[in-house]
Amino acid sequence: MPDSNSLHQDLKVSSDDAKSASPKTHIKRSRLGVWDFYEEIEVDRPRFALAPMLSKLKELVDCFPYLVRMFKDVFSIPGCPPLVLIFAMAHLADAFVPAVTIWFQGQLLSITQTAIETRTVDKERLIRIAAGRLACTVAAFFFDRIMRIVGRPLNAHIRRWWALHCFHAYARLDNATYDKTEVRRQLRDTTDDYYGQSVIWRTIELVSDIVTLITRSVAQTLVLVQVLRGQPDGPMLAVLTLSAEVLVCVAQMPIFRPARIWLAKTVDHDFIKMKGWKDAVRGGWYRKEFVVGNLKEHAYSEFKKASERIGDKDTDWSEWEDLIDWPLPSIWHAFHQPLAQLPQIIFTLRAAQYPMSIPVSLASLSLVQNAASNFVWSFHTMIYRMRRIEHQLTAVKKVYEVAKIPNVIPDGTIPFPEEASQIRSGVALEFRNVSFKYPDAEKYALRNISFSVEPGQLCVIVGSNGSGKSTILKLATRLYDPEEGEIFFGGHDIRTLKLYDLRQAISVLFQDYTLFPLSIRDNIAMGDPATAHDDDRVRLAARLAGAESFVDKLPDGFNTYLEPPVSTEYSSIPEGQTFFTGRKVNYNGLREAAGVKSTEAAALSGGQMQRLAVARTYMRSVVQEDSEVGLLLFDEPSAALDPAAEHDLFDRLRKLRGNKTMVFSTHRFGNLTKHADLILYMDESGIVESGTHEVLLKRDGEYAKLWKLQAQAFI
Ligand SMILES: Nc1ncnc2c1ncn2[C@@H]1O[C@H](COP(=O)(O)OP(=O)(O)OP(=O)(O)O)[C@@H](O)[C@H]1O
C-alpha cells in the first residue's frame, strides 16, 4: 500500500503543467503509480486561506434544498410519516441518555465529597442513584430496539419508492444520452441499492445520527459543566481532556479538506491487460472461448508477465484516492498523544500540592475521563458521519438530478398519424441529403445520403461492411439525429413528430438485437406492450418466427430465463472443505432439495436466439391485425439462420406485412431483392446504385457483380 510520502514524491517528481482548460485554470498532471492524475488548478487562486472551505460550505448549502425535498418526498410515501416520527423521537430520546448518566455520576461524586467531609452516607440517595443509572441503561436499550423495529419497515417503504424513482430515471434516457460518459458517471453514483439500503435511507440515518450526536454532545457538555462547577480543578480537567480529542476530530472535518477537481486514468498497458485477463477468467460468458482456445497456460503466463513488469505499482485507484483526500490526519494524530496525557500530569501536580483533596480529585478525574470517553466517542462518531455527509448530500442531489437529465434527442410536438388509415397503407420514408457522424467519431458514417421509399414499398439496402446500412435504420428511428439534411416520415420531418408516436409507428429488429434478462415469454411479449398479457399472441408470434417448437422443449418452456438475473446464494463455506469432525462440505444435497439445476443458464443456439428476436418483431407488427405499425425495419435478421429458415423468414415477412412499408438491410440477397421495389447499393462513399433488381442487373454495376457472385456459389 502506498504511503503519503510516495504520493508526495511522485507528485513532486513528475508533475507538469498541461494545456490550459480555461482562462482561469490550468490542468496539472501527476503520476501516481500506474495512474495519471489530472487536477484543475486555479491560476489566480485567492490567497485567502478560507476560500476552499467556503466553496465546500457552498457546495453543502447548494445540496440543502435537495435534502428538504427528500424529506418532503419521504413524508409523502404512504405509511412513512408515523414511522419517521417514531424513529426521530427514539433517536432524540437516546441522545439524552448519556447526559442523564453523567448527571447521576455527578450525584455520586457529590455523595463521595459529603462522605469525605462528614463521614456519613445518604443510603436512600445512593439507592436512587443506582436505580437511575440502571434505568438509563434500560432506556438506551429500549430506544435502540425501537429504532431497529421502526427502521426496518421504514427502510423497506423508502427502498420501494426509491427503486421506482431510479427505474424511471434510467428508463427514460435515450440512447445518445445514455452513451455519454458524464451521464454514465452520474448514473453510477446513484446506484439504487447498497447492501439493501438506498441513498435516501442512508441519508436519513446519517442526518438523524448527526442531529442525535450533536444533541448528545451538547447535553453532555452542559451537564458536565454543571456537575464539575463545584469540584476542584474539574472544569480545567474537562477542558484539557476534551480539547485534545476535539482538535483531532476538527482536523478531519470535511470542511478542512480542500475542494479539488480531478480525474485519474491509467494508460498503463500491463495494468489494463491484467484487469482484462482478470475479467476474462471471472466472467462466465468468456469461459467457452477460454476453454476451447486452451487459454489456461497462455492467460496465466500473460498475467504473470504483466504482473512482474508492473510490480508493486499494481494498485487500484481507491488506494490513492484515500491519500489524496486525507493528507492531514497523521499530523494531527501526532499532536493528539501529548495533549491526551496533560490531564494526568496536571492531576499529579495538583495532588502533590493539595494532598487532602486527592479522593475527590480522583473521583472528578474519573468522572471527567468517563464523560470524556463518552463525549469523545460521540464526537468522533459525529465527525466520521460529517465526513460522509458531504458525499451523502451530493448523492441526494444527484438522485434528483438524474431524473432531470435532458435527453439528447428532443421530442417533437406533432402527433402521428393524423388518421389510422395513414398507417394501414404503409408510411413513406425519405432521406434528403443526410450526413451523420457518431458522437466522438472523426469520420462521417453517412455522407449526403438521399433516397425515398413510397408507402407500402419494400426497400432492400445492400453493400459493404461499414457502409452505413445500420446507421440509416438508427437515424430513421431517431436513436440519433443527423448532423445535416432531413428525414421525412409520412411526409413530416421526423424531428417535428412526437417521439412516442414515431416509435409506435415503426417496428425495428437491429442486427445487434438484445435478448433481455427476462423470461422467453416476456422477451417476445415486449414487442407489443399493449398486448403483452395475451399468451396466445406470444405463442403465435413464436410460431411464425419458428421458435415455438424448440421453446416448448425447454424444461420451463416459455418461462425459461436465458441468463437468470438472480443467482442462487450460498453460505460462505467453500465446496469441498473438510471440517475438523471430518465432514466434507458438499452442497449437492441442498441443490437437489431446492431444485437448483446443474447449469442455470438455458443454452440456445445463435439461430434460435435470432428467432426469438424475430418473434418479438412479429408480436409488434404482424400478429396484431389492427397494428399501429406502418414501417418495418430489419437489419440482417437472418444472419444466424440456416438457408431454409432464412427463406421461410423472408417469405413469411413479405406475405404478412400487408401494405406496410419495409426496409431491409442485408448481405444475403436470397430471393428478397428480386421482390424489392427499391434496392440501394452502398459503399463507403454512400449510395452508389439504386433501382429494382432488373434495372440494376441490366446496369451491370456493383450490385450485379455481387448478385452474380452469390448466385455462382449455388451453381
Ligand atoms: N456506435 C458507433 N460509434 C462510432 N462509430 C460507429 C458506431 N456504429 C457504427 N459506427 C461506424 O459507422 C460506420 C457505419 O456503420 P454501420 O454499422 O452503419 O455499417 P453497416 O453498413 O451496417 O455495416 P455491416 O454491414 O458490417 O453491418 C462504420 O464506419 C462504423 O465504424
Supply the pLDDT for residue 94: 92
Q: Are 486 and 452 in contact (CB under 8 A)?
A: no
Q: Which atom of ligand 1 is nearest to the CA of 441?
A: 4
Q: What is the mean pLDDT of residues 342-365?
A: 66
183-187, 375-379, 548-552, 589-593: which has the minimum mean pLDDT?
375-379
Supply the pLDDT for residue 108: 82
List of domains in the chain:
4-45+263-323 (no CATH), 51-257+326-402 (1.20.1560)
- CA–centroid distance, residue 525 to ligand 1 (Å): 29
| Buried residues in 196-214 as b, exposed as e (16+ CB within 10 A) | ebbbbbbbbbbbbbbebbb
| DSSP strand pairing (661-665 vs 446-453) | unpaired
Q: What is the mean pLDDT of residues 639-643?
A: 76
Q: Is 694's pLDDT higher than 60?
A: yes
Tell me, using a 6 A CB cutoff, whether residue 620 lines ligand 1.
no
Residue nearest to ligand 1 atom 3, measured at CA: 438
Supply the pLDDT for residue 520: 92
Strand partners, 28: 17, 39
Tell me, using a 6 A CB cutoff, whether residue 468 lines ligand 1.
yes
CA dihedral 369, 370, 375, 377 (to 10 degrees): 100
Tell me, using a 6 A CB cutoff, whether residue 442 lines ligand 1.
no
Greater pLDDT, 122 or 680: 680
pLDDT band at 253 (very low <50, low <70, confident <90, very high): low
Above pLDDT 90, what percent of the chain? 23
Q: What is the pTM of this model?
A: 0.71
Tell me, using a 6 A CB cutoff, whether residue 344 lines ligand 1.
no
Greater pLDDT, 192 or 302: 302
pLDDT band at 2 (very low <50, low <70, confident <90, very high): very low
Tell me, using a 6 A CB cutoff, whether residue 488 lines ligand 1.
no
Supply the pLDDT for residue 209: 86
Q: Are 491 and 588 in contact (CB under 8 A)?
A: no
Q: Is 449's pLDDT higher than 80?
A: yes
Q: Is 212's pLDDT higher than 50?
A: yes
Q: Is 48's pLDDT higher than 70?
A: no
Cβ-proximal residues to 20 (8 Å cutoff; 6+ apart), any chain: 26, 27
pLDDT band at 18 (very low <50, low <70, confident <90, very high): very low
Q: Are 465 and 378 in contact (CB under 8 A)?
A: no
pLDDT band at 4 (very low <50, low <70, confident <90, very high): very low
Supply the pLDDT for residue 46: 54
- CA–centroid distance, residue 468 to ligand 1 (Å): 6
Greater pLDDT, 209 or 494: 494
- CA–centroid distance, residue 510 to ligand 1 (Å): 12
Is residue 471 helix, strand or coil? helix
Residue nearest to ligand 1 atom 18, measured at CA: 468
Q: Are 197 and 78 in contact (CB under 8 A)?
A: no
pLDDT band at 277 (very low <50, low <70, confident <90, very high): confident
pLDDT digits (tens, 9 = 90+) for 407-422: 888 999 999 888 777 7
Q: Is 138's pLDDT higher than 90?
A: yes
User: Which cell numbers hold the place of 563?
Assistant: 441468463
Q: What is the mean pLDDT of residues 669-674?
A: 75
- Computed over every residue of the chain, the mean pLDDT equals 80
Q: Is 218's pLDDT higher than 70?
A: yes
| DSSP strand pairing (429-436 vs 686-691) | unpaired
Supply the pLDDT for residue 8: 40
Supply the pLDDT for residue 19: 46
5-14, 314-323, 521-530: which has the minimum mean pLDDT?
5-14
Supply the pLDDT for residue 237: 67
- CA–centroid distance, residue 445 to ligand 1 (Å): 7
- CA–centroid distance, residue 431 to ligand 1 (Å): 18
Supply the pLDDT for residue 20: 44
Q: Is 289's pLDDT higher than 80?
A: no
Q: Is 475's pLDDT higher than 90?
A: yes
Q: Is 352's pLDDT higher than 80?
A: no
Cβ-in-10-Å burial (0-12, 13-18, 19+) of 682 comes to buried
Best CA proximity match to 630, nearest among 449, 524, 490, 438 = 490
pLDDT band at 461 (very low <50, low <70, confident <90, very high): very high
> Can you tell me the distance from the alpha carbon of 556 to that of 579, in angstroms, rounded to the nearest whole number?
37
152-166, 353-367, 663-677: which has the minimum mean pLDDT?
353-367
pLDDT band at 259 (very low <50, low <70, confident <90, very high): low
Q: What is the mean pLDDT of residues 495-502?
A: 92
Greater pLDDT, 498 or 395: 498
Tell me, using a 6 A CB cutoff, whether residue 466 lines ligand 1.
yes
- ipTM confidence score: 0.97
Q: Is 359's pLDDT higher than 80?
A: no
Q: What is the mean pLDDT of residues 633-646?
A: 81
pLDDT band at 3 (very low <50, low <70, confident <90, very high): very low
- CA–centroid distance, residue 440 to ligand 1 (Å): 13
Q: Which atom of ligand 1 is nearest to the CA of 682?
A: 21
